[in-house]
Amino acid sequence: MKLVVLGAAGRMGRTLVKVIAETEGASLHAALAREGSASIGADAGIIAGIGASDVAISSDVDRALQGADGIVDFTAPAISLAFAEKAAERRLVHVIGTTGFQAEQDSAIASAAKAGATIVKSGNMSLGVNLLAVLVEQAAEALGPDTFDIEVLEMHHRHKVDAPSGTALLLGAAAAKGRGVALEDAAVKVRDGITGAREAGTIGFATLRGGSVVGEHSVILAGEGERINLSHAAGDRAIFARGAVKAALWAGGKPAGLYSMRDVLGLS
Ligand X SMILES: O=C(O)C1=N[C@H](C(=O)O)C[C@H](O)C1
User: Rounded to 10 degrees, what is the CA torsion of 249, 252, 254, 259?
Assistant: 50
- Kindly state the number of chain residues that form the binding site for ligand X, as judged by CB under 6 A: 10
**Residue selected from 58, 75, 118, 130 as contacting ligand NDP according to rule CB under 6 A:** 75
Q: Is 14 in the site for ligand X (CB under 6 A)?
A: no
- Kindly state the number of chain residues that form the binding site for ligand NDP, as judged by CB under 6 A: 23
Site string for ligand X, 214-233 (x = CB under 6 A): -x------------------
CB closer to ligand X, 142 vs 233 = 233
Q: Of 45, 179, 178, 173, which Cα lies nearest the Cα of 121?
A: 173
Q: Is 238 in the site for ligand NDP (CB under 6 A)?
A: no
* Residue 188 near residue 203, CB atoms below 8 Å: yes
**Residue selected from 4, 47, 109, 125 as contacting ligand NDP according to rule CB under 6 A:** 125
CA distance 53 to 258: 31
166 belongs to an annotated ligand binding site: yes
Q: Is 100 in the site for ligand NDP (CB under 6 A)?
A: yes
* Residue 48 near residue 18, CB atoms below 8 Å: yes
Catalytic residue selected from 121, 156, 217, 232: 156
Q: At what angle do helices 103-114 and 77-90 cross, to 10 degrees?
A: 10
The partner in contact with residue 122, picked from ligand X, ligand NDP, none with C-beta cut-offs of 5 to 8 angstroms by kind, is ligand NDP
* Shortest distance, position 14 Cβ to ligand NDP, whole Å: 8
Q: Where would I find the H helices in 115-199?
A: 127-142, 166-179, 183-186
**Residue selected from 165, 206, 248, 249 as contacting ligand X according to rule CB under 6 A:** 165
Cβ-Cβ contacts under 8 Å for 111 (sequence gap 6 or more)? none
**Residue selected from 53, 58, 98, 218 as contacting ligand NDP according to rule CB under 6 A:** 98
List the interface residues with ligand X, window 68-107 (CB under 6 A).
99
* Shortest distance, position 240 Cβ to ligand X, whole Å: 6
> Per DSSP, what are the bridge partners of residue 5?
31, 72
Q: Would residue 154 be called left, alpha or beta, if left means φ above 0 and alpha means ψ between -120 and 50 degrees?
A: beta
Active site residues: 156, 160
